[in-house]
Amino acid sequence: MVPFLPKMTMPDWLESAATNPSGIHDFPVDEVLLDSVYYPACGFDPTPIYCFEGNAYSFVYVDYAPTRESYLAEMPRMVGRDYDLVYSRDVTHDEVVPRNWRPPILPSREEMERVRLGQSEAQRHLFGHWSIWARKAASPDVDSSLAKYISLFYLCGEMFACYMGLYSYRKIKPKILAILCPGCMGGEWENIRTDNSFFHRVVAANPAGIPEYVLSSSWGVGYGPKVVWSEYEEIPTGDHNSNFDLYFMKRKPNFPSPRSIS
């Protein structure tokens, strides 16, 4: 947890699911998305979990490259050794969006060509997976300040369509958006940190508004602005960032209402 962002109370739905996993019948997609951390182009990077557990309890990861098998192999490392898996299952397309759903915003023809070129080598083994983790019992080797439970939803898909299908479709916004290393493994077709990016248009068009906070970094291929998008301003963090190229941002006050998707 970072001390300069608000601490969040454990959601009732997560505590109930973690303490009675046999009682879980449906994927609670709205609850998983509300006040979540959305991390596109994530790979298997655990940074947002390490930074924000306690500031948030639900983490939504999206990347189009990994296979289900490679993700499941990396999942315990991503969450960390202080947590035990208490629940895990695959999530189907129909549990996320209706079968006939289509993105309401599409890239321009020029952008679509960059999409085609940038993703031509990407693996397309689409999958969804949801897991719940519980902090291990108190011991000298376990950090007792960690969140008691966390939820991790990993979706293999394209970041723009996933944002619209998950958040905009339900008029829900993530609490925190993590933009850390898009393109560092190749295949990213635009600099999503700029105001004129397609991803910015997608996020700004969500009827629920834009996320309250953004975590950015100087990682990635040629991408290094500290502040992402003009709606945000950097949060002074003192020495908290001394060992990492991470930048924390908050939404500027009195920012105009977002455009709605029509």
Q: Is residue 262 part of a domain?
A: no
Using DSSP's 3-state secondary structure scheme, residue 251 falls into strand
The number of CA neighbours under 13 Å toward the Cβ of 133 is 24
pLDDT of 64 reads: 86
pLDDT of 218 reads: 66
pLDDT of 193 reads: 82
Q: How far apart are CA 227 and CA 19, in angstroms?
A: 40
Q: Is residue 257 part of a domain?
A: no
pLDDT of 254 reads: 73
pTM, two decimal places:
0.89
pLDDT of 239 reads: 53
pLDDT of 149 reads: 97
Q: Is residue 138 part of a domain?
A: yes
Q: Quote the domain boundaries for residue 148.
A: 12-251
Q: Is residue 239 part of a domain?
A: yes
pLDDT tens digits, the chain, 262 residues: what are they?
Answer: 888 899 999 999 999 999 999 999 999 999 999 999 999 989 999 999 999 999 999 999 999 889 999 999 999 999 998 999 999 999 999 999 988 999 888 877 665 555 554 454 444 678 999 999 999 987 777 788 899 999 999 999 988 999 999 999 999 999 999 998 775 444 456 778 888 888 999 999 999 999 999 998 766 544 555 668 999 998 887 655 444 568 888 999 876 655 544 3
Q: Is residue 182 part of a domain?
A: yes
Q: Is residue 185 part of a domain?
A: yes
Q: How many structural domains compose the chain?
A: 1
pLDDT of 183 reads: 57
Q: Is residue 46 part of a domain?
A: yes
Q: How far apart are CA 125 and CA 123, in angstroms?
A: 6
Using DSSP's 3-state secondary structure scheme, residue 6 falls into coil
Q: How far apart are CA 167 and CA 194, in angstroms?
A: 21
pLDDT of 258 reads: 52
Using DSSP's 3-state secondary structure scheme, residue 162 falls into helix
